[in-house]
Amino acid sequence: MRRRPAAGRPPKLDDAQVEEVRAALERGAQAHGFEADLWTLERVGLVVERVTGVTLSQASVWRLLTGWMGWSLQRPERRALERNESEIARWIAHEWPRIKRGQ
């Protein structure tokens, strides 16, 4: 049995370029001029293009992040900074039962 080469189109980025992209992304989004330190597929695509000169579709950016780099989807928690956990616990323990009973 002979070994066959991998089927499909060859990747647009080689291993060295992927490592350059990884290093660039690890510096954070704000280091690349974005307001918030949050990565989106569009932003990652822009950084890939700046670093390597290669334009990737959003699907290819997703495969780069999840397949080649082993990263996963992370979503920021949508929680107010002013959140008062003790007041929330008090409300759940005292107010919610009263409201639920209809008083």
Written as six digits, the tokens of 64 are 């780069």
The pLDDT of 22-46, averaged and rounded, is 93
The span from the CA of 91 to the CA of 27, in Å, is: 41
Instruction: Give this prediction's pTM.
Output: 0.68
CA dist list (Å): 6 to 16, 38, 44, 63, 95? 20, 35, 27, 17, 63
Q: What percentage of the chain exceeds 90 in pLDDT?
A: 62
Q: What is the pLDDT of residue 103?
A: 61
The pLDDT of 22-37, averaged and rounded, is 93
The pLDDT of 19-26, averaged and rounded, is 95
> For 40-68, how does the pLDDT look when each residue is reduced to its tens digit (9 = 90+)?
999 999 999 999 999 999 999 999 999 88
